[in-house]
Amino acid sequence: MSTQPEIELLNEYNIYFIADKAIGEASEDKLQRESNVSLSFDYLRSTDQQDYCVLYIDIEIYAPGFASSLYRCEFGLWGPFSTITNNNILFIIIDKSFEQAEVCFNQLCNDNGIEDIPTFILQDADYEKIIEGIIQEVPIREKTWEGNRELHLTEGGFFTMGKKTALFIQGTFVVMDQLFMLNSNVNRLHNRHMFFEQTGLDLSRYNTLRIYCNSISKSDIRLSFYQIIYLFLLVDCAAQILLSPMLNTLEPELNRYGLNAENAREYLKVASDIRGQLNHELTDAETIIDLLNKSYDWPALMQ
């Protein structure tokens, strides 16, 4: 009788790639002035299958004067939950993720005519530091998950495929991707820091939510109440930015991704209607969500 593998590479995502020789040079950007590789992670426990979880590893590469990219590898892990903090398992997963990210980065650089690409090498000490960070972080996330168990297990929203729904979901991430990853005319690192500090989100969990929500173009999606909270914080930020002077900076790229002036106006109307519906449901349920009750001045926080 065959046994399930402990690790399986399920999916890979090229989340972004920017070929831009000005990366790291423009004072507005300040994403990274020196070549660097960073890693973030997220995971989801299976609600259907015992002793199984999915681990997401995001590798971000900065190469000023060349390009920057973010690559995600999605792994299935079979075994006790402690598998996710096993040193040997993590080493294999991180090594494979870095290898795939570097292959993709080099290929995209070649495709864009970028030559003399820097070489990135992870030393043993780098692996040890990354693994130690994950092992220390997992119990903290588990404690947070348990503290919000009801929000995680309660359905917060069911979105069916349709033009308006797709505009609402995908339009949100078009704006936020510009602020966090794609637009070198804004201070992306600062914007991430400010939003994540205010909300408790991080880049990897943002991408998990983003990838799942954007699947609305192919199928209906169900979000937990916990996910809905973060979606509406992102909606709040995106809507404020579209109504602020910062729109002038983002507008050319927003147009390129399909969020032109007409679609932006429709987005704002749909977002307002859906947020009003959520507020009504929260009032009826006598539910108070601190993060949603707080007022944010996102244009003042973003740069």
pLDDT for 30 equals: 44
**Helix, strand, coil shares of the chain as percentages rounded to 5?**
55, 20, 25
Say if residue 31's pLDDT is above 60: no
Return the bridge partners of 45, or none: 53
Check whether residue 69 and residue 132 sit in a common domain: yes
DSSP class of residue 117 equals P
- Are the CB atoms for 259 and 195 separated by under 8 Å? no
> pLDDT tens digit string along 184-229?
899 999 999 999 999 999 999 999 999 999 999 899 999 998 899 8
- Terminal CA-CA length for the chain: 58
Q: Where are the beta strands (DSSP E) in 83-162?
A: 155-159
pTM for this structure? 0.87
Q: Where are the beta strands (DSSP E) in the chain?
A: 7-19, 36-45, 52-63, 67-78, 155-159, 221-224
- Are the CB atoms for 25 and 65 separated by under 8 Å? yes
pLDDT for 49 equals: 66
Check whether residue 115 and residue 209 sit in a common domain: no
Average pLDDT, the chain: 87
pLDDT for 4 equals: 52
Does residue 38 sit within a domain? yes
Query: Which of 97, 124, 147 marks a domain boundary?
Result: 147
Residue type, 139: P
> pLDDT tens digit string along 11-27?
999 999 988 754 444 43
Check whether residue 172 and residue 197 sit in a common domain: yes
Instruction: Give me the domain span that covers residue 127.
Output: 7-147
> pLDDT tens digit string along 42-94?
999 876 667 899 999 999 998 877 889 999 999 999 988 888 999 999 999 99
pLDDT grade, residue 3 (50/70/90)?
low
Q: How far is CA 14 from the centre of its chain?
A: 12
